Amino acid sequence: MISPDQRWDTIYDKASLSDCDPTYCADVLSENAFLLPSKGTALDLASGMGANSTFLAQQDLAVTALDISKVAIDKLGQYATQHALNIKACVQKIDLNCFTDFTFDVIVVSRFLDRRLSNAIIDALKPNGLLFYQTFTKEKTIPTSPNNPDYLLNRNELLTLFSPLQVILYRENGLVGSHLKGLRNQAQFIGQKTQ
């Protein structure tokens, strides 16, 4: 049986360095970049090829990118070096141990869901820190992967998982209106740690 890191290495082996480009970052981040602090630290959790990381680094944040795939992290590190970006890219299994020694002004999570990590993510935010989260929902307008319900959000679930944070933005269009327009098959959340 293939391990998760081997599976992702195989996927990212086919990717090019252009997939690290910040134009591919999560919409919740690019559309709300005006909320980012002018300096500080950021975590791109389950970074993959690191488009979120490169976007954050271009906003003058010191970025830590964590992902299980050595292939993705190596490519991100190469891209960061070529473009002189302040990104520390690390191969890391994404679990509770990721957060033990660090806090961040910004945490970004996109296309990744492990419900067990919600409290650790909150704890890893500095006071007034921001969480930008965007991932897949169970309610879909068109059938797309992933299909495993363990990796799909229930309606309004991000609001529950991160209820200790002050909600800055929440968007989940679901099946309302024209299914060909707007955010579909995903939910977006931005929350701030106020304590």
* Cα–Cα distance, 104 to 168 (Å, whole number): 18
Give 134's strand partners: 110, 188
Quick count: other Cβ atoms within 10 Å of Cβ 89? 26
Question: What integer best gives the mean pLDDT of the chain?
Answer: 87
Distance (Å) of CA 147 to CA 38, 87, 157, 184: 38, 32, 17, 15
Mean pLDDT across the stretch 153-178? 84
User: Rounded to two decimals, what is the model's pTM?
Assistant: 0.90
Summarize pLDDT for 93-142 with one digit per residue, the tens.
Answer: 999 888 778 899 999 999 899 999 999 999 999 999 999 999 988 765 57
Distance (Å) of CA 180 to CA 28, 137, 163, 184, 185: 19, 16, 30, 8, 11
* Cα–Cα distance, 66 to 189 (Å, whole number): 20
**Structural domains of the chain, ranges and CATH numbers in brackets:** 4-8+23-30+38-192 (3.40.50.150)
Kindly state the tokens that stand for 37: 């602090």
* Cα–Cα distance, 8 to 93 (Å, whole number): 12
